[in-house]
């Protein structure tokens, strides 16, 4: 008898182990480790992953596998092992570890069918199958099971003649939004304008919009772009000029694009020196982790590209990770330009189905390079030759839900398996990584000069308190304003950066200082200009903006904070001649908008690019000679020991956008705390001194990289309950650890209540605690009953990036 060990799709403590199932005779040669199967579990039939096959079981009465869900394994041997490792490292359930490695389509609801693979004729199939495929383009999986032809199909699948397709049900991920489109041709529209009454200015504006851009547009977008109400559109719909329909908003922006092929540059001396050890490591087939520490614009990307090229020559595959926010069209162009259609791109703009298609290209070895954000680290390649993590310091590489993994750790683990180099690249490495490079745990490769031999841009720090004292109440210092005017005259471009992170716009009473908070969470509500609503970002609570202050009845209660729209308005007043492109979540929510705006800026259609985090990275335009940072310190005051590091990194990245080509660059940083070392040293672009300074502080306060930390957060509706459970946990953990470790708690989390649940935490700092994982598991076991029945929640984050 053949028996399969199966991890079932029930993420709970009691089911977090393999269950044995009998493999029915007719599936004996079908079932393999790494396949998904349907198994009976209690009264239900659920999905599971086969993790092993054996001949004996300790149990006698085994149930049988109902059917397989795949023709070939979706998780290869390496990824199955990686799942075990993830479980150990992040203390998550096995099933969560497997699921995080797969595209959403394989988790979702779907219709499963089998069809002839592209380029094959029915004649290639055995007779029994020919008949079926002659009559139908696809065969339902369920029918194939019933007819008993799965083994036949499987043989064909391994020859590549048939394939399984999943049709993701619409409901799952695809988002449909109301779009407006023109029912008339360009000429007809022009005529229609003539026929409108003279006072229909708004309607005329809409028609002009469609003459310029005939494609359908999302309703919400045109309303905000033209600042009109939906009544204007309705009027045009009634006249039969426009139509409305629901349309899918996701599209692959690269689908129909031709990419111009580029050739490798001859490397500079510095680049040669940096790439040498990487190429050696590829040659020797040895795992090696490198930090490529190169200032902005020093040609890191070219080093990545040429390393990948070597890997491809060896017949191997490459994974290139980049933060979602930097996964710009420019970056994609550089990869597709060099490697053509050997590149798969995984980004959040793809629909579930499109992501699944890209994943399948990887699995079927149709591509050799994957470029993508965090989850692309699980690309199912089997012969990896290099893994590269660009902007390795970015915190988005840490997943903030279970399994709480860091892509850097996964990369190093996979590199170990494949015996290949792992490259961590940054101009501002994380302290953890730089410290390891200093201790030679990682190889240190340095690019200290910019490509064009230009100096790094000069940086001027402006004290905004001083401005205020001298009567300047504007959000622009006089110095920055002068520079802006100067660039306008010279017809050079400026990037204006507004730091939004940790800086939400809230509603405040100017008379009494009252701030509107969420009634369920101890945090202020965020104002959403578009819907004119206030929203809680933690529980979703929504309310309209009060017209008078609930505290003092004053009418001076309003939106506070500097949004990009507000900056744009102010620019319009002080520099009316400047052409401004604004990039933020509002103007880039539509697919392709991001690229379109950047293209316009590149083509010189604007003088100033104004934006948030999304413009801090990756821009490489020759005409940018000035970068202005409007609010440098908003992030400094977050309750997070990494806030100085994040501020330094961000300021350095933004500054790096200026003067990357022939023209020299200049940076102006406005701040209320010019004396803070992370701002001062970002001004000097002196990473090394920042590193020394910050390391001293980390050492003093016993934080990473001197100590590891783990965070346990307890939450419950009853405050007393939370405090007492956290206290017990703190005691228990302390008793299990060595005296060199520090256990802090119980303390209230920095957001002490979310969705009416109180939150307390216990923070553990340690250098080496092999028994910590076990101790935490014991805690979870002990409270399992309460977690299941009375709503207690305990979450564990090993190496947390968010401490709130």
Of 5, 47, 271, 685, which one interacts with ligand ATP (CB under 6 A)?
271
Q: How many residues bind Zn ion (CB under 5 A)?
A: 15
Q: Which of 187, 269 has the CB closer to ligand ATP?
A: 269
Q: How far apart are CA 26 and CA 139, in angstroms?
A: 20
Q: How far apart are CA 613 and CA 584, in angstroms?
A: 8
Question: What tokens were used for 506?
Answer: 């809230």
Q: Which of 216, 337 has the CB closer to ligand ATP?
A: 337
265 binds, among Zn ion, ligand ATP, none (CB under 5 to 8 A by kind): ligand ATP
539 in a known ligand binding site: yes
541 binds, among ligand ATP, Zn ion, none (CB under 5 to 8 A by kind): Zn ion
Q: Which of 200, 539 has the CB closer to Zn ion?
A: 539
Confirm or reject binding of residue 5 to ligand ATP (CB under 6 A). no
Confirm or reject binding of residue 551 to Zn ion (CB under 5 A). yes
Of 113, 300, 360, 418, which one interacts with ligand ATP (CB under 6 A)?
300
Q: In 434-571, at which residue ranges do the beta strands (DSSP E only) sit?
A: 443-447, 458-463, 493-497, 506-509, 526-528, 533-535, 542-544, 557-560
Q: Which of 314, 511 has the CB closer to Zn ion?
A: 511
Residue 362: what are its φ and ψ, rounded to 5°?
A: -70, -45
Question: What tokens were used for 305?
Answer: 């590209």
Residue 779: what are its φ and ψ, rounded to 5°?
A: -55, -50
Q: Which of 428, 477 has the CB closer to ligand ATP?
A: 428
Report residue 201 CA to chain centroid gap.
42
Helix (H) or strand (E) run with residue 343 in it: strand 343-346
List of long-range contacts for 784-791, beta carbons under 8 Å, 24+ apart: 784/13, 784/14, 787/13, 788/12, 790/716, 791/716, 791/717
Q: Which of 124, 267 has the CB closer to ligand ATP?
A: 267
Q: Which of 138, 301 has the CB closer to ligand ATP?
A: 301
Q: Which of 172, 267 has the CB closer to ligand ATP?
A: 267
Smallest distance from ligand ATP to CB 664, Å: 15
Stretch that binds Zn ion, among 84-92, 106-114, 487-495, 547-555 (CB under 5 A): 547-555
Confirm or reject binding of residue 518 to Zn ion (CB under 5 A). yes
Q: How far apart are CA 486 and CA 315, in angstroms?
A: 53
Using DSSP, how many helices (H) and how many strands (E) does the chain show?
A: 26, 33
Near ligand ATP in 578-637, by CB under 6 A: 618, 620
762 in a known ligand binding site: no
Q: How far apart are CA 680 and CA 233, in angstroms?
A: 51
Confirm or reject binding of residue 323 to ligand ATP (CB under 6 A). no
Of 34, 48, 294, 745, which one interacts with ligand ATP (CB under 6 A)?
294
x/- site string to ligand ATP, residues 635 to 664, per CB under 6 A? ---------------------x--------
Of 229, 313, 548, 554, which one interacts with Zn ion (CB under 5 A)?
554
Residue 739: what are its φ and ψ, rounded to 5°?
A: -75, -10
Confirm or reject binding of residue 457 to ligand ATP (CB under 6 A). no
Q: Give the gyration radius of the chain's Cα atoms.
A: 29
Task: Please classify residue 522 by burial: count the beta carbons closer than 10 Å to its beta carbon, then call 0-12 exposed, 13-18 middle and 19+ buried.
Answer: middle
Confirm or reject binding of residue 306 to ligand ATP (CB under 6 A). no
410 binds, among ligand ATP, Zn ion, none (CB under 5 to 8 A by kind): none
Q: Which of 11, 277 has the CB closer to ligand ATP?
A: 277
Confirm or reject binding of residue 620 to Zn ion (CB under 5 A). no
Residues 6+ away with beta carbon under 8 Å from 227: none
Residue 599: other Cβ atoms inside 10 A: 13
Query: Collapsing DSSP states into helix, strand and coil, what is residue 298?
Result: coil
Confirm or reject binding of residue 516 to Zn ion (CB under 5 A). no
Smallest distance from Zn ion to CB 538, Å: 5
Residues 6+ away with beta carbon under 8 Å from 695: 431, 435, 705
x/- site string to Zn ion, residues 525 to 544, per CB under 5 A? -----------x-xx-x---
Smallest distance from ligand ATP to CB 657, Å: 8
Name the DSSP class of 268.
P
Smallest distance from Zn ion to CB 631, Å: 25
Q: How far apart are CA 182 and CA 773, in angstroms?
A: 61
∠ CA(529), CA(534), CA(535), 5° rounding?
Answer: 110
Residue 747: what are its φ and ψ, rounded to 5°?
A: -130, 150
558 binds, among ligand ATP, Zn ion, none (CB under 5 to 8 A by kind): none
Smallest distance from ligand ATP to CB 451, Å: 4
Q: How far apart are CA 192 and CA 393, in angstroms?
A: 55
518 in a known ligand binding site: yes
Confirm or reject binding of residue 429 to ligand ATP (CB under 6 A). no
Answer whether 325's CB lies under 8 Å from 501's CB: no
512 binds, among ligand ATP, Zn ion, none (CB under 5 to 8 A by kind): Zn ion
Smallest distance from ligand ATP to CB 656, Å: 5
Confirm or reject binding of residue 268 to ligand ATP (CB under 6 A). yes
Q: How far apart are CA 81 and CA 51, in angstroms?
A: 9
Smallest distance from ligand ATP to CB 629, Å: 16
Q: How many residues bind ligand ATP (CB under 6 A)?
A: 18
Q: How far apart are CA 512 and CA 478, in angstroms?
A: 31
Residues 6+ away with beta carbon under 8 Å from 583: 564, 594, 597, 598, 609, 610, 611, 612, 614, 615
552 binds, among Zn ion, ligand ATP, none (CB under 5 to 8 A by kind): Zn ion
Near ligand ATP in 72-111, by CB under 6 A: none
Residues 6+ away with beta carbon under 8 Å from 501: 613, 634, 635
Beta partners for 110?
Answer: 168
420 in a known ligand binding site: no
Smallest distance from ligand ATP to CB 497, Å: 15
620 binds, among Zn ion, ligand ATP, none (CB under 5 to 8 A by kind): ligand ATP
Answer whether 663's CB lies under 8 Å from 625's CB: yes
Near ligand ATP in 246-265, by CB under 6 A: 265
Confirm or reject binding of residue 427 to ligand ATP (CB under 6 A). yes
Residue 789: other Cβ atoms inside 10 A: 8
Stretch that binds Zn ion, among 191-199, 382-390, 426-434, 503-511 (CB under 5 A): 503-511
Smallest distance from ligand ATP to CB 167, Å: 40
Stretch that binds ligand ATP, among 33-41, 291-299, 574-582, 773-781 (CB under 6 A): 291-299
Q: Which of 224, 262 has the CB closer to ligand ATP?
A: 262
Question: What tokens were used for 433?
Answer: 């990584």
Q: How far apart are CA 319 and CA 390, in angstroms?
A: 11
Residues 6+ away with beta carbon under 8 Å from 247: 176, 177, 178, 179, 216, 218
552 in a known ligand binding site: yes
Smallest distance from ligand ATP to CB 636, Å: 23
Smallest distance from ligand ATP to CB 281, Å: 20
Q: How far apart are CA 506 and CA 363, in angstroms?
A: 47
Confirm or reject binding of residue 506 to Zn ion (CB under 5 A). no
Query: Collapsing DSSP states into helix, strand and coil, what is residue 705?
Result: coil
Confirm or reject binding of residue 549 to Zn ion (CB under 5 A). yes
Contacts with ligand ATP, residue ranges (CB under 6 A): 265-268, 271, 294, 296-302, 427, 451, 618, 620, 656
Task: Summarize the annotated binding site as residue ranges.
Answer: 509, 512, 518, 521, 536, 539, 549, 552
Cite the annotated binding site for Zn(2+) by residue number.
509, 512, 518, 521, 536, 539, 549, 552
Binding site for Zn ion (CB under 5 A): 509, 511-512, 514, 518, 520-521, 536, 538-539, 541, 549, 551-552, 554
């Amino acid at each position: 008898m053949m028996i399969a060990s199966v991890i079932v799709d029930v993420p709970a403590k009691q089911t977090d182990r393999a269950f044995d199932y009998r493999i029915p005779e007719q599936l004996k040669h079908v079932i393999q480790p790494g396949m998904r199967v349907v198994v009976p579990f209690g009264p239900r039939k659920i999905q599971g992953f086969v993790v092993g096959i054996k001949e004996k079981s300790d149990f006698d009465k085994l149930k049988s596998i109902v059917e397989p869900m795949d023709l070939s394994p979706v998780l290869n041997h390496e990824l199955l092992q990686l799942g075990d490792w993830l479980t150990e490292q992040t203390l998550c359930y096995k099933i969560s570890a497997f699921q995080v490695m797969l595209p959403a389509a394989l988790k979702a609801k779907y219709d499963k069918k089998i069809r002839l693979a592209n380029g094959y004729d029915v004649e290639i199939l055995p007779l029994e199958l020919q008949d079926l495929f002659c009559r139908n383009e696809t065969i339902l999986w369920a029918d194939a099971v019933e007819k008993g032809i799965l083994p036949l199909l499987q043989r064909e699948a391994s020859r590549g003649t048939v394939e399984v397709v999943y049709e993701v049900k619409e409901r799952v991920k695809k988002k449909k939004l109301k779009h407006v489109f023109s029912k008339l041709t360009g000429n007809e529209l022009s005529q229609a304008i003539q026929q409108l009454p003279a006072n229909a200015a708004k309607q005329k504006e809409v028609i002009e919009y469609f003459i310029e851009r005939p494609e359908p547009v999302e309703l919400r977008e045109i309303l905000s772009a033209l600042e009109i109400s939906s009544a204007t559109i309705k009027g045009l719909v009634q006249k039969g000029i426009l139509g409305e329909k629901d349309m899918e908003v996701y599209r692959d922006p690269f689908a129909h694009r031709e990419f111009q092929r580029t050739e490798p540059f001859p490397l500079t001396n510095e680049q040669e020196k940096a790439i040498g050890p990487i190429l050696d490591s590829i040659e020797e087939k040895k795992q090696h982790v490198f930090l490529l520490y190169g200032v902005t614009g020093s040609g890191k990307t070219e080093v990545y590209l040429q390393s990948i090229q070597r890997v491809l020559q060896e017949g191997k595959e490459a994974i290139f990770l980049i933060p979602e926010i930097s996964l710009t069209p420019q970056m994609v162009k550089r990869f597709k330009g060099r490697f053509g259609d050997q590149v798969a791109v995984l980004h959040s703009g793809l629909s579930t189905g499109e992501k699944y298609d890209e994943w399948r290209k990887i699995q079927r070895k149709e591509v050799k390079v994957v470029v993508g954000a965090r989850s692309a680290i699980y690309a199912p390649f089997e012969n990896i030759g290099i893994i590269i993590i660009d902007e390795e310091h970015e915190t988005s590489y840490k997943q903030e839900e279970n399994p709480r993994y860091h892509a850097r750790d996964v990369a190093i683990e996979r590199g170990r398996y494949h015996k290949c180099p792992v490259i961590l690249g940054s101009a501002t490495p994380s302290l953890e990584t730089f410290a390891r490079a200093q201790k030679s745990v990682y190889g240190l490769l340095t690019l200290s000069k910019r490509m064009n031999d230009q100096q790094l841009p000069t940086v001027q720090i402006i004290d905004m308190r001083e401005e205020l004292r001298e009567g300047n109440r504007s959000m622009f210092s006089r110095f920055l304003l002068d520079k802006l005017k100067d660039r306008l005259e010279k017809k050079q471009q400026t990037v204006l950066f507004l730091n939004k992170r940790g800086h939400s716009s809230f509603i405040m009473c100017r008379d009494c200082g009252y701030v509107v908070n969420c009634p369920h969470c101890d945090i202020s509500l965020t104002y959403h200009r578009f819907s004119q609503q206030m929203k809680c970002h933690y529980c979703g609570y929504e309310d309209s903006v009060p017209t008078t202050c609930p505290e003092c009845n004053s009418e001076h209660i309003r939106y506070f904070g500097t949004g990009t729209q507000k900056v744009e308005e102010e620019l319009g007043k002080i520099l009316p001649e400047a052409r401004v492109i604004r990039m933020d979540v509002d103007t880039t929510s539509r697919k392709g908008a991001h690229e379109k705006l950047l293209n316009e800026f590149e083509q010189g259609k604007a003088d100033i690019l104004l934006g948030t985090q999304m413009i801090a990275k990756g821009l490489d335009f020759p005409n940018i000679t000035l970068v202005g940072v409007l609010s440098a310190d908003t992030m400094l005051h977050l309750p997070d020991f990494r806030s100085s590091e994040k501020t330094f990194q961000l300021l350095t990245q933004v500054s790096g956008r200026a003067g990357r080509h022939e023209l020299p660059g200049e940076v102006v940083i406005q701040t209320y705390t010019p004396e803070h070392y992370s701002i001062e040293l970002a001004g000097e672009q002196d990473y090394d001194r920042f590193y020394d300074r910050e390391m001293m502080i980390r050492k003093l306060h016993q934080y990473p990289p001197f100590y590891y930390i783990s965070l346990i957060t307890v939450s419950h509706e009853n405050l007393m309950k939370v405090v007492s459970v956290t206290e017990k946990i703190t005691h228990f953990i302390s008793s299990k650890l060595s005296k060199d470790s520090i256990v802090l708690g119980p303390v209230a989390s920095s957001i002490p209540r979310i969705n009416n649940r109180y939150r307390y935490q216990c923070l553990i700092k340690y250098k080496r605690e092999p028994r910590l994982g076990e101790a935490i598991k014991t805690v979870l076991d002990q409270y399992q009953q309460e977690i299941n029945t009375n709503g207690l929640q305990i979450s564990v984050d090993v190496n947390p990036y968010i401490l709130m």
